[in-house]
Amino acid sequence: MSNSRLTVSQVAALLAQDTVEENMINILKDDSRISVIRLLQKWQQRQLDHIREKERVQSLYAHERVLKSKGFQRIAGIDEAGRGPLAGPVVIGAVIMPDDYHLTHLNDSKKLTASQRLELYHEIKSVAIAATHIVVDVEEIDQLNIYQATIKGMYAAIAALCPQPDAVLVDAVPLPELEQHSLSLIGGDAISASIAAASIIAKVERDQIMDEMDRQFPGYGFAKHKGYGTSAHIQAIHRQGPCPIHRRSFEPIKSWEG
């Protein structure tokens, strides 16, 4: 079909597709209508954005590729969500991704919208070689301290993976007692695909828990701030007092109850 037979609306519908035959693109390049020129420019920019996004995501597999070159086959990423809040558990995510698998928008979970995280969560769960999460409750956090509780949860999450990984990439914290080879990466959720995937699993699972806690303990706003120490959350604690999922070992709750 030549472009002389296409209305602007038909061109718009054609260019709404991600894939368009090269001969049709060449025909449209010769179309002098301003509307068609602008539509084609937008399509070309979208194609360029797709290429750049694919390159960005593939760059996140650099550490995984190095480990693969050393003979490690199944590489897990591990990350946590919820170390800083005043309430709720810390959740550990652990994921083994297929080699170089492309996940559009894959990134540190904190840099994504809730809808992007949820979409990626479902795709990760469907394609991962293994994916799991561990919930470390408030009682254990208060008993051990948040750092030790997180470390314990990380070991448990790795142990729960099936199949087991040959190597592990960890966000920030070292895990010296692991049997597998491991590497701690500062800011790992922004530079490793496996850790980023784990961060998304952990974040979505924890957000779902905090949404349920909002229903069980109304008035604190857990569905909005997820337990972090926002001014609205602090005011709610002053007004209602701490509830069972508040961390008694964390300030300012520790001082209020001391």
Distance of CA 83 to the CA centre of its chain: 16
Q: What domain range includes position 198?
A: 62-206
Note whether 100 and 174 are same-domain residues: yes
154-211 pLDDT tens trace: 999 999 999 999 999 999 999 999 999 999 999 999 999 999 999 999 999 999 999 9
Rounded to two decimals, the pTM is: 0.87
Q: Confidence class of residue 108 from pLDDT cuts 50, 70 and 90?
A: confident
Note whether 188 and 142 are same-domain residues: yes
Note whether 82 and 156 are same-domain residues: yes
φ, ψ of residue 229 in degrees (nearest 5): -85, 55
- What CATH number does residue 151 fall under? 3.30.420.10
CA dihedral defined by 104, 84, 87, 152, rounded to 10 degrees?
Answer: 90
In angstroms and rounded to an integer, the radius of gyration of the C-alpha atoms of the chain is 24
Counting the structural domains of the chain, the total is 3
Note whether 11 and 78 are same-domain residues: no
